Chains A and B, each alone.
Chain A
Amino acid sequence: MISFNLLVVIALAYVAFLFLVAFAAERRAAQGRQAWLRSPLIYTLSLSIYCTAWTFYGAVGYAARSGLEYLTIYLGPTIVMVGWWWLLRKLVRIGRAQRITSIADLISSRFGKSTLLGVIVTLLAVVGTTPYIALQLQSVTLSVAVFAEGSGTRWGQADLARAALWVAAGLAVFTVIFGTRTLDANERHHGVVMAIAVEAVVKLCALLAVGIYVVWGLAGGIGATLERIDASTVALWTPAPGRWVGLILVSAAALITLPRMFQVMVVENDDERNLGTASWAFPLYLLAMSLFVVPIAVVGLDLMPEGSNPDLFVLTLPLAQGRQDVAVLAFLGGFSSATSMVIVATIALATMVSNHIVVPLWLSARQQGATMTGDVRYVVLVARRLSIAGILALGYVYYRLSGGSAALAAIGLIAFVGVAQVLPSLVAGLYWRGANRIGAAAGILTGLVIWLWTMFLPSFGEGAVIPAHVFAEGPFGLAWLRPHALFGIDGIDPLVHALYWSLLLNTLVLTIGSILTFPTPLERLQGAQFVNVFEHSADKAAWTRSDARAEDLLMMAQRIIGATEAQELFRSEAARQGKGGYLPDVTVDFIGRLERQLAGSVGAATAHAMVGQLTEGASVSVEDLIAVADEAAQIMEYSLKLEQKSAEQERTATALREANEKLTAISIQKDAFLSQISHELRTPMTSIRSFSEILRDGEVDPEARGRFATIIHDEANRLTRLLDDLLDLSVLEHGQVTLNRERGTLEAVLDRAEAAVGPAVKLVIRRRRSAEQVPLETDLDRLAQVFINIIANAAKYCRAEQPELRIVVNSRADRPVTVDFIDNGDGIEADSQKIIFEKFARLGDTRKAGGAGLGLAISRQVMEALGGAITYLPGQGGAAFRVVLPEAARLAAE
């Protein structure tokens, strides 16, 4: 007999292996080598979390009890998968287009980004999934207990509970590490998906190994096995039509609506085409998983002693026959099934809980301006981590309270029916534009209540939650409300009873509610976008200006999706509008896009609420959009070409307008420039002339004479500097500059700049040297000149009590290196941001500057000559400049 300790060692080694796999996958993804991680094979294998410990162990038990009925659990998903072109393709497309983060988010987003619906579906998912997680914990502990028993120790309740606690804690650690690495729930969890794919292979191999051993090792071949099947008690196959149809239906629904399935199928989907491969590969996987279920059940019933638990045949049968190697493999298979389900389900639920319950609560608690203060990212991340721990704790508590009930299958089916309540609203939302929020909420609530009353609560046993007399006579003597005989129709199988009543009334209420009530504009808009997702119809720009300032929006976006992504989003939007810089016009179109981007992190409802806080005219702008997306607009035929043309015209017009503004400004500037130069030259000359006259006339005491001579000297220097700058600028402007390319590191250039500005200034400079180890090949002197300029500017203009300059280097493989200089002063007004790079553009207190206001103009010319850029970075609190290093400046070899 294999020692119990050895089994624990094997299990721990397996867990360590999974951590390694996940780490390796995250690493590969971080390095940009994702092709393999995005392959259809990995996608298909990740779908296999449909097969949990319930199907791994329980299917055999199911077959031993009710024959072929277990197959319905696999046939339903098969039908949905082979019909991918019809439903799943649309679901995945919408999921990607709207950056959906969970099933609750999908429903909430479709029905007008409704917070209420998000909460309802989240609660439903938590209630439906917690017992399921408990079930997985139970299956792991039971399988461990089997081995413990084999090696002579009998496990009591306390031992089981302790094991379950350890498993739950371990899973929490894994899930927190790999499930909350990125905030954007819409970004892929490569580590998790990879680990799950590996587990999928392990559980399939394990089950196949047991099956092959049973058929060829124990039963004596296929023919003999079939004979045994027909001879066994399982042979009595009298399928109950109601259950057969109902189970196919509910398992088909579960494939779509189970939070964990939605997570891997829609949220983690990288490429829509993977669905095509999965459409046949996943049914094939299911077939392989169920192939040997009946043989194992039949042989198990034959060989195992009377009264053995058929749910554990996969494990106990090889053990009883002395094949410990097969048994250990089976154990790992069951372990894999349980852990992968728990991990994904927990991530899915945590996303829902944090996005639809915690963050909205936090937002409403902070009332106004919550979007502008505090780090939303941090709140969301913490919420998600706490949710993971909370959900696993809930699963553990449920496991302890339920005391490990006997039949595994019951809980699985109860959960299936529970989450299936989302299906009517989901399907209606995808195909019927008329379905609305009130209908959906009422429908789901109706289904939820019926499910709780007829299935979930009775599952604890008669007299446990619902008193026995209620089962017999109904609550308050209302016989038509008996949990197993609604409306007085008695004698239906409880599962079928609950399934049909809940789904039927759910759908009925949804339909009637939608027909009788009127949707809000946003619902109609979202409805059109979902139903017509393949036609890109509602993506028109209604050029209504909103009150929101681009800078505020950028500030908020940075807090949610991170600085780099937010800036990139704003920059590309500005470029799309034909503008430079980081502040695009706030069009309805742009707000929509921004909202979708934010929704990828915090869910549609929250994103809408947050943007809504800043764009006060939200209701008006939605009306504008509605006009476009409305039925009337749909009838209108506009060709895509026309659209593109008008968009192009819009861009050209914007560009022209900007060019014109610039031209006008330049001609004014020409005059101003001359008079500026005159001023800048005459000022030092005045001092020089005046003091030299004083010195010439004599009668000055020696101390004053020295001071005056110094002034003359300094002012002469200032003149020289000014002339140098002017010359430099002129050379740069005419592109006649010769660059002196050298190699060095960014750190060295920054060091040089910092030293040149000198320690005398009060400014504290904060750097992260580890980020500055970027090898460069460019004109380092010129680059240093730019840095010196920016640092000197901060030293001069930053008006904070304790002036501070942060230098943030951002070097990612797929983007040019950027160096941000952010001070803690007052920043620069939006109007002024446009002119600071112009010549002599000094703002405010001129004397303090000491220079002529040419520094930034020169810096801009230098960066252009080097092939990079320097821009003002709005929305950072203080003044902030971003230097974008030229692509070629970075050495390829790292």
Chain B
Amino acid sequence: MNRRVLLIEDEPNIIEAISFILSRDGWTVHTHSDGETALDRVRAGTPDLVILDVMLPGRSGFDILRDLREGDDTRALPVLMLTARGQTKDRELAERLGATRFMTKPFSNSDVLHTVREMVGP
């Protein structure tokens, strides 16, 4: 069950933490840290799941999400939104734009792991 996750996040320490958790669980983790080119990266990599941070350099995670949901090939892609801003309006916006799941930082490692497993299905 070699499943691929694409982690779009710009904070190096958080990248390292999530990569570590997921790799240990058997996932192949690819990372990308620039908002502007993130969309191309998703299309090129065809991951099974995307973890998407909101505050990215170059382009906001919300904009990327909107584009993902408009593209035919990425419409059904599971997307887990992460944000450090923790406001309800961010959650609402994410849901409206079609995020599969939404989590605020800081998170517990096991929550992330469970959520990711759930999203991709058995």
Contact between chain A and chain B defined by CB under 8 Å: yes
Stretch at the interface among A217-225, A241-249, A325-333, A840-848: A840-848
Give every chain B residue within 8 A of A689 (Cβ-Cβ): 106-108
| A686 with B84: CB separation less than 8 A | yes
How distant is the Cα of A678 from the Cα of B55 in the complex, in angstroms? 12
A481 on the B face (CB < 8 A)? no
Q: How far is the CB of B29 from chain A (nearest CB, A)?
A: 14
Given known pairs A678-B84, A847-B57, the reply for A683 and B105 (CB within 8 Å) is: yes
B85 on the A face (CB < 8 A)? yes
| B106 with A682: CB separation less than 8 A | yes
A675 on the B face (CB < 8 A)? yes
A765 on the B face (CB < 8 A)? no
B25 on the A face (CB < 8 A)? no
B104 on the A face (CB < 8 A)? yes
Q: How far is the CB of B89 from chain A (nearest CB, A)?
A: 9
How distant is the Cα of A548 from the Cα of B73 in the complex, in angstroms? 49
A interface residue count range (under 10 / 10 to 19 / 20 to 34 / 35 or more): 20 to 34
Give every chain A residue within 8 A of B107 (Cβ-Cβ): 686, 689-690
B18 on the A face (CB < 8 A)? yes
| B106 with A688: CB separation less than 8 A | yes
Which residues of chain A (190-207) have a CB below 8 Å from chain B?
none
Given known pairs A682-B86, A846-B55, the reply for A715 and B109 (CB within 8 Å) is: no
How distant is the Cα of A687 from the Cα of B18 in the complex, in angstroms? 9
A685 on the B face (CB < 8 A)? yes
How distant is the Cα of A846 from the Cα of B9 in the complex, in angstroms? 12
Which residues of chain A (672-721) have a CB below 8 Å from chain B?
675, 678-679, 682-691, 693-694, 697, 704, 711, 714-715
B87: nearest chain-A partner, CB-CB: A675
B72 on the A face (CB < 8 A)? no
Which residues of chain B (1-37) have a CB below 8 Å from chain A?
10-14, 16-18, 20-21, 33
Give every chain B residue within 8 A of A684 (Cβ-Cβ): 13
How distant is the Cα of A694 from the Cα of B85 in the complex, in angstroms? 24
Give every chain A residue within 8 A of B14 (Cβ-Cβ): 683, 686-687, 690
Number of residues of chain B lying within 8 A (CB) of chain A:
24
How distant is the Cα of A697 from the Cα of B109 in the complex, in angstroms? 10
Give every chain B residue within 8 A of A847 (Cβ-Cβ): 10-12, 33, 57
How distant is the Cα of A711 from the Cα of B85 in the complex, in angstroms? 22
Which residues of chain A (843-894) have a CB below 8 Å from chain B?
844-847
Which residue from A675, A687, A697, A846 sits with its C-beta under 8 Å from B17?
Answer: A687
Which residue from B55, B87, B104, B106 sits with its C-beta under 8 Å from A690?
Answer: B106
How distant is the Cα of A690 from the Cα of B21 in the complex, in angstroms? 9
Give every chain B residue within 8 A of A690 (Cβ-Cβ): 14, 17-18, 21, 106-107, 109
| B13 with A711: CB separation less than 8 A | yes
| B84 with A683: CB separation less than 8 A | yes
How distant is the Cα of A562 from the Cα of B12 in the complex, in angstroms? 46
How distant is the Cα of A82 from the Cα of B5 in the complex, in angstroms? 96
Give every chain A residue within 8 A of B21 (Cβ-Cβ): 690, 694
Give every chain B residue within 8 A of A683 (Cβ-Cβ): 11, 14, 84, 105
Give every chain B residue within 8 A of A711 (Cβ-Cβ): 13, 16
How distant is the Cα of A777 from the Cα of B33 in the complex, in angstroms? 47
| Chain B 78-115 per-residue mask, 1 if CB under 8 angstroms from chain A, else 0 | 00000011110000000000000000111111100000
B34: nearest chain-A partner, CB-CB: A845
| A679 with B12: CB separation less than 8 A | no
> A-B pairs with CB below 8 Å: how many?
69
| A682 with B84: CB separation less than 8 A | yes
| Chain A 232-261 per-residue mask, 1 if CB under 8 angstroms from chain B, else 0 | 000000000000000000000000000000
Give every chain A residue within 8 A of B12 (Cβ-Cβ): 847
How distant is the Cα of A691 from the Cα of B85 in the complex, in angstroms? 20
Given known pairs A686-B105, A846-B55, the reply for A675 and B85 (CB within 8 Å) is: yes
| B57 with A679: CB separation less than 8 A | no
| B109 with A693: CB separation less than 8 A | yes
| A687 with B13: CB separation less than 8 A | yes
How distant is the Cα of A846 from the Cα of B57 in the complex, in angstroms? 7
How distant is the Cα of A427 from the Cα of B99 in the complex, in angstroms? 82
| Chain A 82-110 per-residue mask, 1 if CB under 8 angstroms from chain B, else 0 | 00000000000000000000000000000
How distant is the Cα of A689 from the Cα of B13 in the complex, in angstroms? 11
Given known pairs A845-B57, A847-B12, the reply for A682 and B17 (CB within 8 Å) is: no
Most buried by A among B12, B14, B86: B14
Q: How far is the CB of A847 from chain B (nearest CB, A)?
A: 5
Most buried by B among A683, A690, A845: A690
| A694 with B87: CB separation less than 8 A | no
Q: How far is the CB of A579 from chain B (nearest CB, A)?
A: 32
Q: How far is the CB of A309 from chain B (nearest CB, A)?
A: 89
B13: nearest chain-A partner, CB-CB: A687
| A679 with B13: CB separation less than 8 A | no
How distant is the Cα of A258 from the Cα of B96 in the complex, in angstroms? 83
Q: How far is the CB of A389 from chain B (nearest CB, A)?
A: 58
Which residue from B16, B18, B106, B110 sits with its C-beta under 8 Å from A685?
Answer: B106
Give every chain B residue within 8 A of A687 (Cβ-Cβ): 11, 13-14, 17
Give every chain A residue within 8 A of B20 (Cβ-Cβ): 694, 704
Give every chain B residue within 8 A of A697 (Cβ-Cβ): 109
Give every chain A residue within 8 A of B110 (Cβ-Cβ): 693
Give every chain A residue within 8 A of B57 (Cβ-Cβ): 844-847
How distant is the Cα of A684 from the Cα of B109 in the complex, in angstroms? 15
How distant is the Cα of A715 from the Cα of B12 in the complex, in angstroms? 11
How distant is the Cα of A683 from the Cα of B106 in the complex, in angstroms? 7
Q: How far is the CB of B115 from chain A (nearest CB, A)?
A: 14
| B105 with A682: CB separation less than 8 A | yes
How distant is the Cα of A375 from the Cα of B13 in the complex, in angstroms? 48
Which residue from B55, B87, B106 sits with its C-beta under 8 Å from A686?
Answer: B106
How distant is the Cα of A682 from the Cα of B57 in the complex, in angstroms? 17
Which residues of chain B (53-92) have a CB below 8 Å from chain A?
55, 57, 84-87
B108: nearest chain-A partner, CB-CB: A693
How distant is the Cα of A697 from the Cα of B113 in the complex, in angstroms? 14
Q: How far is the CB of B103 from chain A (nearest CB, A)?
A: 10
Give every chain B residue within 8 A of A682 (Cβ-Cβ): 84-86, 104-106
A687: nearest chain-B partner, CB-CB: B13
A681: nearest chain-B partner, CB-CB: B84
Which residues of chain A (111-157) have a CB below 8 Å from chain B?
none
Give every chain A residue within 8 A of B16 (Cβ-Cβ): 711
How distant is the Cα of A690 from the Cα of B17 in the complex, in angstroms? 6
Q: How far is the CB of B30 from chain A (nearest CB, A)?
A: 18
How distant is the Cα of A845 from the Cα of B36 in the complex, in angstroms? 12
B56: nearest chain-A partner, CB-CB: A846
How distant is the Cα of A711 from the Cα of B84 in the complex, in angstroms? 18
Give every chain A residue within 8 A of B85 (Cβ-Cβ): 675, 678-679, 682
Q: How far is the CB of B70 from chain A (nearest CB, A)?
A: 26
| B84 with A694: CB separation less than 8 A | no
Give every chain A residue within 8 A of B106 (Cβ-Cβ): 682, 685-686, 688-690
Q: How far is the CB of A583 from chain B (nearest CB, A)?
A: 28
How distant is the Cα of A714 from the Cα of B11 in the complex, in angstroms? 13
Most buried by A among B13, B57, B108: B13
Q: How far is the CB of B25 from chain A (nearest CB, A)?
A: 12
A718: nearest chain-B partner, CB-CB: B13
How distant is the Cα of A693 from the Cα of B111 in the complex, in angstroms? 12
How distant is the Cα of A675 from the Cα of B84 in the complex, in angstroms? 9
| A694 with B109: CB separation less than 8 A | yes
| A679 with B84: CB separation less than 8 A | yes
B18: nearest chain-A partner, CB-CB: A690
How distant is the Cα of A155 from the Cα of B21 in the complex, in angstroms? 104
Give every chain A residue within 8 A of B84 (Cβ-Cβ): 678-679, 682-683, 686
21 contacts between A and B (CB under 8 A): A675-B87, A678-B87, A679-B84, A682-B84, A683-B105, A685-B105, A685-B106, A686-B17, A689-B108, A693-B110, A694-B17, A711-B13, A714-B13, A715-B13, A844-B57, A845-B57, A846-B10, A846-B57, A847-B10, A847-B11, A847-B33
Q: A685-B106, A689-B106, A847-B10 are in contact. List 15 more A-B contacts (CB 8 A).
A: A682-B86, A683-B11, A683-B14, A683-B84, A684-B13, A685-B105, A687-B11, A688-B106, A689-B107, A690-B107, A690-B109, A694-B17, A711-B16, A845-B57, A846-B57
9 tightest Cβ-Cβ pairs between the two chains A and B? A690-B17, A682-B84, A687-B13, A686-B105, A686-B106, A689-B106, A679-B84, A693-B109, A685-B106
